[in-house]
Structure 1
Amino acid sequence: MTDPNTAGETATFGYEDIPAEEKQARVGAVFSSVARKYDIMNDAMSGGMHRLWKDRFVRRVKPRSGEAILDMAGGTGDIAFRMAPSGAAITVSDINQDMLDVGMERAEKRGIHGLEWSRQNAEELSFGDKAFDAYTIAFGIRNVTHIDRALAEAYRVLKTGGRFFCLEFSTTEWPGFAQAYDLYSHKLVPQIGQAIAGDADSYRYLIESIRRFPKMREFEGMIAAAGFRHTRVEPIMGGLVAIHSGWKA
């Protein structure tokens, strides 16, 4: 069924511009395809550095016992597992059930209990207003169809004084490194995806989606436009990855 709110709109899907109502299904197919190999591929593509980025991200979030935290696009559990020792009540949400299934299996194997798992669309959360002390999203927001709607929902479900943290790829500003990374990501990452996950096209999309995502300052402006205050950008590796944050006044 066509969503009347998206009729006639287009959305980015890698380097393609497609009807907005098609993006959710096409992104869903990508993540269903790569779910079982997602974490292995993260290691292969980043040389294991994604683990350091996620550690740093969680240190910025500072989860605390007694807090309610929504980890959106949390799929395989990487961020939630890092926050779990804090004693916070963590809800792991993802639009893709295959990713959530992998996360629940990983939690069981690691003996991590007490996490809530909930299938959710970031643009239309089922949670009530002011339900969470913190909202985290890592490497997920560039895959939603309408980023502004996802940010508005993040703002809605946060309590007054609640904090928003987003870890996302961006565009590195280091001279020389940007060109080398472009060559690596466009030429080698799809080949790695084919070798490890048997799926070059999905990883080609993931790289292209990074290139189409707003630059750091533009995305910070979108966070501010959603109502967040004291917004901040923390570039990593010159902006290859960035930690974005804001507070609900």
Structure 2
Amino acid sequence: MGVRFQELAWRQTPIGEISLRRRRDPALDTEVYEVKLDDEYLMSSLFPVAEIELARLGLAELTGDDLNVVVGGLGLGYTARTALADPRVGSLVVVEAIEDVIDWHRQGLLPFAAGLADDRRTRFVRADFFAAAEAEAGFDPDEPGRRFDAVLLDVDHSPRNVLHPDHARCYTPAGLRRLAAHLRDEGVFALWSDDPPDEEFGAALAEVFATWQAHVVSFPNPLTGGESANTVYVARR
């Protein structure tokens, strides 16, 4: 039957106390993995659909092979694992600000993400994604100025509901231009959001990118018995 509740990891970080918890949900008869920041839930293994769709929808816009991809925010690993499942992906740089989150994967604490840390295409970069997006050197410290086919971002709750005030600059036209400079021609920027499609953010995307679309991703919510939805933005240079 297993342990009813266990805190697998905990750390004080510059943005608050982050913890990884595992609990047994008797009603659903399943193990649930959750990440909390202070008292706020960041992600749960009960709701991986939109994180998976972030990678699937973003990469679907691309053609060719040997794609070079950045994932901003590692979390439970669903976006990164889905990217690696695409045989066209030749390299994956995962930018994560908190070393402990990277260690969860290196230590095998998340069985559904098995193989992510060991895949030869994966490289973890311990860095602030938003600072890297603003810097000319970009996301790969070993190859400053490197450009990528896709950047898939899942850190904040939404462009309006950010985890740190400094992140808000990324969602402005100026911030998006700096981020887009790290993409190859016709490269893709995709973003997960917990909010419905945002017209103001859409206007910012339209100002910077050649095309963009907001995909509403619906999924069953076993806690409510109904449906929930997230938004995945996909924009192309």
User: Aligning the two structures, in what range does the TM-score lie when normalised by the shorter sequence?
Assistant: 0.5 to 0.7
Alpha carbons 2:34, 2:45 under 8 Å: kept:
no
Q: Please report the TM-score for the alignment, with normalisation by the length of structure 1.
A: 0.59
Structure 1 residues 35 and 97: alpha-carbon distance in aligned structure 2, compared to 1, 3 A threshold: farther
More helix by share: 1
Instruction: Return the offset for 1:49.
Output: 5.2
Say which of 182, 199, 215 aligns to 1:234: 215
Give the aligned CA root-mean-square deviation in angstroms: 3.3
Higher mean displacement: 137-146 or 110-119 = 137-146
Give deviations 1:45-98, integer Å, cap 9, x for gaps.
988552222233322123674010000112442211111122411111111222
Please state if 1:86 is matched with 2:86: yes
Say which of 17, 34, 43 aligns to 1:41: 34
* Structure 2: distance between partners of 1:153 and 1:45: 26
* Structure 1: distance between partners of 2:65 and 2:77: 19
More strand by share: 2
Q: Please report the TM-score for the alignment, with normalisation by the length of structure 2.
A: 0.61
Alignment of 1:11-160 (within 5 A): 26-27=14-15, 29-30=16-17, 33-35=18-20, 40-41=33-34, 50-62=47-59, 65-87=65-87, 88=89, 89-106=91-108, 110-112=114-116, 113-114=119-120, 115-125=122-132, 126-127=137-138, 128-129=144-145, 131-140=147-156, 142-144=162-164, 145-149=166-170, 151-160=176-185
For structure 1, which runs of at least 5 residues remain unmatched after alignment? 1-24, 172-214
Percentage identity across paired residues of the two chains:
12
Alpha carbons 2:104, 2:110 under 8 Å: kept:
no
Q: Secondary structure at the match of 1:134?
A: strand
Give deviations 1:6-34, integer Å, cap 9, x for gaps.
xxxxxxxxxxxxxxxxxxx642x24xx22
* Structure 1: distance between partners of 2:76 and 2:145: 26
* Structure 2: distance between partners of 1:124 and 1:168: 20
Structure 1 residues 92 and 155: alpha-carbon distance in aligned structure 2, compared to 1, 3 A threshold: same
The number of residues matched between the two structures is 176
Instruction: Return the offset for 1:123.
Output: 2.3
Q: Comparing both chains, which one has the higher relative contact order based on Cα–Cα distances under 8 Å and sequence gaps of 6 or more?
A: 1
The amino acid across from 1:137 in the alignment is: L
